[in-house]
Amino acid sequence: MSLRIPDWLRYEIKQRWLILRQRINANPRIIISITAASAFVFLMIVLGLLTSEKTPQVQEYKKDWFYDLNTAKLFTAKSDLVPPIEAPSGPLPNGRPAGAKAYVFSYVSGPNESERFIGFLEIPDPNAEKDSFAVSSDTSGAEQWGRGRLIRRVEDKQWVQADSAKGQAIIRELSLPNEKGQRPQYCSP
């Protein structure tokens, strides 16, 4: 079933089109104005596209959060350090450094200390191959990040591989919104 325009409506449209054409023919300034306005809008769009090619700068932090496994407190250190690092409280009872990398988040921007929380802790997997951090074109960025790393929540005792099902569950749980529908944001030190 096709939609058919009533005859009276077709006649009305045709009459209005004829009147508009007569007005345009009688006054060529209308065409010149419309053409100039269209050219101006086109030029502004082209200029906007050409000047907006600046790539956004990714902010690199000079410091990162670390967690003292002895005292259960956060501290900051240079971001280029690979955990575990020396912690303010000294080494663990087994002699290994007590500083694990901490990923700190908040549901509000510009949080104070009570509004921040630790999403998870990270250390390198001591059993991982040396080239486990090598970049591969057949894996995504998230998979590449998780390779050769152990993570855990602060309250957990067991470290799990970040690219395992348990590790991915920790990260997925972290990305869920709170009861107000807010998603956590990374907090820089």
Give the model confidence (pLDDT) of 142-183 as tens digits.
Answer: 556 667 899 999 999 899 998 888 989 998 988 888 888 889
pTM value is 0.62
Residues 153 and 73 in one domain: yes
What Cα–Cα distance (Å) separates residue 22 from each residue in 19, 26, 123, 189? 5, 6, 79, 70
Range of the domain at 38: 7-51
List the beta bridge partners of residue 101. Answer: 66, 122
* Rounded distance between C-alpha atoms, residue 7 and residue 22, angstroms: 23
How many domains does the chain fold into? 2
In a domain, 113, yes or no: yes
Distance separating the N- and C-terminal Cα atoms of the chain? 66
Task: Scan for tokens 């799990």, then name that residue.
Answer: 160
* Rounded distance between C-alpha atoms, residue 24 and residue 30, angstroms: 6
pLDDT digits (tens, 9 = 90+) for 79-131: 888 888 999 999 999 899 999 999 999 988 888 888 899 999 999 988 876 55
Residues 38 and 122 in one domain: no
Render the burial of 60-97: b for 16+ CB within 10 Å, e for the rest.
eeeebbbbbbeeeeebebeeeeebbbebeeeeeeeeeb
Residues 40 and 85 in one domain: no
